[in-house]
A and B are shown apart, each in its own frame.
Chain A
Amino acid sequence: MLINKKILFPGQQENEQIFIITRQHWMVLVTKLLVWFLFIIILFLSDWAINRYAPTLKKDPYLDYVNLIKTIYLLFILLGFLITWVMYYLNMQIVTNERIVDITQKSLLHHTISELHLSRIEDVTAEVNGILENFFDYGNVYVQTAAETNRFEFDRVPNPTKINKILLDLYEALPEKQKQKNPFNK
């Protein structure tokens, strides 16, 4: 399916057609947020523990200390949520009729954009492994390039088999001249 969008990455050609914009499956975000949720549970557990084992902490002068610590803790929980979501949101892969673009946010200030021309594709593999992956239909797509060690990876993306097929179809649609540029395609 063709997606008509404005400029999405540096170096995008004017007449370049975008076929896929994908990021990790939402289940990946949910899994990360479950870890984050544990920290919220700690907050409730601490309230319960204070009520049960240290009721004096609910009275002056300790109450203000407890409230202060709880508020600071909440601020950092919120910050953790923001960072988790931002890291999820900023990682994405784009497939056009000319190349694959992998936009990776390794940390908040470490942003990388890798590109792979479709003519360099050697082999495409879709992998769905695990209960959640099968149930929610997400997994990895590996794109083997002409260079022996270089492998593009779509990490836990939705519909990996569909992406696999689109990549192969786009490769097949390339003019023979471009395919022959790849020294490994003989």
Chain B
Amino acid sequence: MSRPRFLLPLGIVVALAAHPVAAQRVELQVTLSNDTLVDGRLIRLPQVRTLNLLAGRWGQALRNSLPLRLSYQIEIWRSRDGWIDQYEKTVEWGIVVRHEALFDQYTVTTPRARGAPEVSLATWEALDRYLSRERLILARPGGRGTYYFHVRLEVTTLSEDDLEELERFVRGEGTDPDRDRNPANRSVLQFLMRMTGGLQSERVEQRTEKFVVR
């Protein structure tokens, strides 16, 4: 078997893949805080800012009284130059945004937020400004060395059809085990969902620069 034949499928794969992806509509900005002494160590903390959340379909969904759920995950990685990076742990938190029609106000619930975990806002502009505010995440690397954070945000609407899946998520049981038994079904389902109703969620990711914990 000649090598050029083997390169053909690789070329096809690369050609198919070489299509630039446009920027995601929801924008995630992740920066690092100043050095801070915590438990005898100098660390930097991730600062997360979510922009353009209400500009498109998510804003439309909220106006239609569908609550929005923002699920954040921060993976803490230890960088080992020239070798495999070491995954340390993941911290998670979430935000739920609701429109309360009778009071004509918006409620933002952030259960892990210090101070005011639930905030009511009277106007769309105030809501947009509040959601765009910087969040400082108390995510602490476990040791010393060079680290970075990988931040993932998934935006979904909370519909009743999604409830069973979310029930499991809330209970910490993962996804529907019946679906897990057949991931091929899931792939086809995603395809059909795209045909019938478009994507049900949006995911964006960002990584911080590396920093040293001393």
Chain B associates with chain A: no
